[in-house]
Amino acid sequence: MTSPAAELQGITKRFGAVVACDNVDLALQRGEIHGILGENGAGKSTLMKVLIGLVLPDAGAIRINGESRRIGDPAEAAELGIGMVHQHFSLVEPLTVWENVILGEPIRLDAAAAKRRVGEISERYGLAIDPDERISDLSAGLRQRVEIIKCLRRDPAIVILDEPTSVLTPGESEQLFEVLRLVVERENKAVALVSHKLDEVLAATDQITIMRAGAVVDRRDTADADAPGLARAMVGRPVSLRSEGAALGHIEAFEDDRLATGPVVEAARATEPQPVLSIRGATARGRDRRTLLDGLSLDVHPGEIVGVAGVEGNGQAALSDLLSSLLPLESGTVRVRDERPLPGRPGAMAAAGVAVVPADRHESGCVLDMTVAENLTLVSPPRPRTGRALLDRAGRALLDRAGRQAHAERLIEQFGIQTPGADAPMWSLSGGNQQRVVLARELSGDPAVLVAAQPTRGLDVGAIEYVSERLREAAADGVAVLLISTELEEVLDLADRIVVIFRGRIVGEMDRANLDVERLGLLMSGAQEAAAS
């Protein structure tokens, strides 16, 4: 047997304390589509960036056709015959198709020849495209065609595709896989298909490598693989065991707190069947016209925790933005109690009683260069109400330093925030304590709805426990809690009810009592969209 087209050995890459790739081996054979499967953050993309020269590994070796190579940048990779179709399109929108295809090539600019070449490639692979079209006028599917043509133009021996179908319709995805099959069978290229979608990896590949937390956890021949087995390997056996156990009520972690809050939940729901947060048919598009939310409907009742499970990039950010008044809707409504806050109008959701713990603490959760007290009172400096609108308004405009300080100190004590003082800068706090500040601020306004997006991301075990505890307490106090998390474990641990978000819509729902982890995994990957509805 000849040596593989590309071989990665013992690749390790750290970003600060995070190990993105941990001693990973991978071999790409000619004439094969190799699926690299894993959840977001499993290290798949980093591994591919090592191969294309965008990331330099800390340790490990790369062999191309059996020869050891060092790949420092994409140009070197291109010379070795490695091409990549990037996850986020690397196209320049105001330029035309042919201009994009030849971008970065050190040859004379010859429009006629470039267009001819685009025509040849598009004919050879059945990727019809008009070379004079502007990228900004093309759909996501056609843009990807341009990316693929750009990649194939140099006739690479190894083709890497990073989450190629994340923006495609099912039909477009099928076409893409036909092209890949063609490339592999007719031209004996080696293809690496990076994906978190079980169905497409099963349908399109020959070999599968499964990654979790930066390491390879399993390798299979696609012929011998099945979806439930892959789902378990991808999400991880310990998680699966724990959650299955949780569903059956066997795990001791649940016996102390979960059972205690259980009856409260029941009582709250019994007395107040009306949902406090109700989203109906929410549809929204981003600035690039991509669909962010696609008719999403969701109810949250007082006193319950609803977990939104799903693979990252399926509309979680948009849902969180919607409830932070950051995203206007094309159609659909949001109702909070009896109010109908106008989506997208600054502050509308907060005024209606929606508090949000944003996914990115540093970007939108707090201001690192301000003090703890300032961060705690950032949203609404507390003021005794006089009952007169004008006075209240004037009072809000002026900051009451003493009142703010007292309020901040109360919250610091109440939430056990470890800080040298209320005037310490926010950046001097640990991640866990920063998150406590955000939680304290959001909960201090007595919200009707609490949205927690990735509330434990990047926190240590103790902090995770604290945040979980607070969310449960909030629910016990009658707050409707919406937990948006890509950590399935977290959702399974906290939620009374789990809904699955896929491509901007809710595709399935299950109660804690009827938990089926395998089905959940399939729903998340979109494999059972039909079965869910």
As a dihedral over the C-alpha atoms of residue 363, residue 366, residue 371, residue 375, rounded to 10 degrees, the angle is 160
CA 11 to chain centre: 25
Task: For the chain, state the CA radius of gyration.
Answer: 26
Q: How far apart are the first and last CA of the chain?
A: 48
CB 95 within 8 A of CB 109: no
What is the CB neighbour count within 10 angstroms for residue 321? 23
Binders of another protein among residues 131 to 170 (CB under 8 A) are: 150
**Where does this chain touch another protein (CB under 8 A) — which range of 105-113, 344-352, 403-411, 501-509?**
105-113
AA identity, residue 357? V
Q: In 170-290, which ranges are E strands?
A: 190-195, 207-212, 215-221, 277-285
Binders of another protein among residues 19 to 58 (CB under 8 A) are: 54
Nearer to another protein (CB atom), residue 51 or residue 411: 51
Binders of another protein among residues 232 to 291 (CB under 8 A) are: none
Which residues is 7 bridged to in the sheet?
27, 63
Least CB distance to another protein at residue 109 (A): 4
Q: Assess 108 for contact with another protein (CB under 8 A).
A: yes
Least CB distance to another protein at residue 474 (A): 34
What is the CB neighbour count within 10 angstroms for residue 340? 13
Nearer to another protein (CB atom), residue 75 or residue 203: 75
**Where does this chain touch another protein (CB under 8 A) — which range of 6-14, 84-92, 228-236, 303-311?**
84-92
- What does DSSP say about strands 18-28 and 6-15: parallel, antiparallel, or unpaired? antiparallel
Using the Cα atoms of residue 168, residue 293, residue 163 and residue 521 in order, give the sign of their dihedral: negative
CB 199 within 8 A of CB 230: no
**Where does this chain touch another protein (CB under 8 A) — which range of 29-37, 71-79, 226-234, 339-347?**
71-79
Least CB distance to another protein at residue 271 (A): 49
Q: Assess 387 for contact with another protein (CB under 8 A).
A: no
Least CB distance to another protein at residue 290 (A): 16
**Where does this chain touch another protein (CB under 8 A) — which range of 17-25, 98-106, 223-231, 456-464?**
98-106
Residue with tokens 């070795």: 80
Tokens standing for 178?
């036909």
**Where does this chain touch another protein (CB under 8 A) — which range of 87-95, 346-354, 387-395, 399-407?**
87-95
Q: Assess 87 for contact with another protein (CB under 8 A).
A: no
Q: Assess 91 for contact with another protein (CB under 8 A).
A: yes
Which residues is 505 bridged to in the sheet?
502
Nearer to another protein (CB atom), residue 28 or residue 84: 84
What is the rounded distance in angstroms from the CA atom of residue 6 to the CA atom of residue 45?
16
**Where does this chain touch another protein (CB under 8 A) — which range of 100-108, 291-299, 333-341, 439-447?**
100-108
Interface residue with another protein among 7, 32, 39, 99 (CB under 8 A) is 99
Given the rule CB under 8 A, which residues bind another protein? 54, 73-75, 78, 86, 88-95, 99, 102-104, 107-109, 150
